[in-house]
């Protein structure tokens, strides 16, 4: 394959990876992998449960600038 075709594909793949990392889209996959390595017997939460816990933790922690129940 010519470099004119592979370079844009590589650039597009990098942009997709960067956006997924920046937005937290890959957090669930990283969490599941971490559980498999560190606690293989632990129950794996569904993506919905994981996102709910993550949101609850974000709004419960006063150090991150959010207040409970407020935007």
Q: Quick: pLDDT tens for 22-54.
A: 888 899 999 999 999 999 999 999 999 999 999
Give pLDDT tens digits for 10-23.
999 999 988 988 88
* Better pLDDT: 27 or 1: 27
- DSSP string covering 14-54: HHHHHHHHHHTTTHHHHHHHHHHHH-TTSPPPPHHHHHHHH
In the structure encoding, which two tokens stand for residue 48, read together? 């919905």
Contact of 51 with 28, CB cutoff 8 Å: yes
pLDDT of residue 20: 87
Domain ranges of the chain: 3-64
């Amino acid at each position: 394959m010519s470099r004119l075709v592979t370079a844009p594909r590589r650039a597009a793949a990098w942009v997709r990876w960067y956006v997924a990392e920046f937005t937290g889209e890959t957090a669930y996959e990283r969490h599941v992998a971490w559980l498999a390595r560190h606690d293989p017997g632990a129950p794996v939460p569904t993506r919905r449960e994981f996102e709910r816990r993550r949101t609850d933790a974000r709004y419960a922690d006063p150090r991150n600038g959010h207040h409970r129940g407020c935007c």
